[in-house]
Structure 1
């Protein structure tokens, strides 16, 4: 009796959709906007027609990638926000913790935008990014620190995340720890 090779388990609809979004996000990080739907289908291990079943065109796929990135990033920041801290700057400290070495997912998700020059030319992506920027402005305004300090800390943490995401040797582990500690201190009221 010969062994019949097992066929890979078929994915359900949502897992397939998520595999496509993940593959497109990875290609976006490694190639920028220089990839095709066929490249995404190959990376996601689906047929191109299977991909098109979920996303009718490249723009629709990129909108889904950005929407997923925004949701993932917010979730990562929230996971690094200590709800027991009952003082101003709690959310901002979670933002710093997530981006300054606390969450590889947050760093990679944040970096997605650094590698995707031109993605905001897609109107729906631009609208998602605008709405997300406004969400963060409002959330950090409610966080209770002066806006100028909050913005400076936020953008410094994003700079650290950018350095970490590129794998640069520009920032050492000691410098990262020192910067993270300083930013967390500045995020106190």
Structure 2
């Protein structure tokens, strides 16, 4: 019977995610991750020789998860004849709060090392550019993408200038507008 036990590398990355989401990126240390993962400091250093390598591993895993999520959303839409852009938007909007906390912390960490976000920039840029070009009005698609980005970023950064009771109607309107691009 195959084991479903996560690899040590995944255990370390899970622990790093927990430390960053709970304590912030400034508290991410090899020692904190080792304690959270219940592995030795040497075990962490074997997989990630320094904090930058650990952050890079975290971002790479997050980018892979987001890329997979976007691909699933697009595939679901195409299978049932729905507008892919709207389905991808819905997927991005519906990411959980714990993922938003981790995203905030990684965004802060990238301030010191902006190159860490290059893989995220690439996958989002490629996906959204392709989806926009598939619509009858790519300019309108890009405007909607910018609106989605702005809304997600304001939530991510805690600007809170949109009352909680208006978030869902705004989300729904953006999704509706994305669907209307195909009409």
TM-score, reference length from structure 2:
0.73
Identify which of 148, 161, 174 aligns with 2:165.
174
* Residues 37, 58 of structure 1: 8 Å contact kept: yes
Alpha-carbon separation, structure 1, partners of 2:105 and 2:78: 27
Identify which of 1, 8, 20 aligns with 1:28.
20
Alpha-carbon separation, structure 2, partners of 1:142 and 1:45: 48
Higher helix fraction (1 or 2) = 2
- Pairing 1:84–2:79 present: yes
* Residues 107, 165 of structure 1: 8 Å contact kept: yes
Unaligned segments of structure 2, at least 5 residues: none
Larger radius of gyration: 1
Unaligned segments of structure 1, at least 5 residues: 1-10
* Alpha-carbon shift at residue 68 of structure 1 (Å): 0.6
RMSD over aligned Cα atoms: 3.1
Matching residue of 1:151: 142
1:1-189 alignment runs, 5 A limit: 14-29=6-21, 30-81=23-74, 82-86=77-81, 89-90=83-84, 92-100=85-93, 102-104=94-96, 107-108=100-101, 110-121=103-114, 123=115, 125-144=116-135, 146-165=137-156, 170-188=161-179, 189=181
TM-score, reference length from structure 1:
0.71
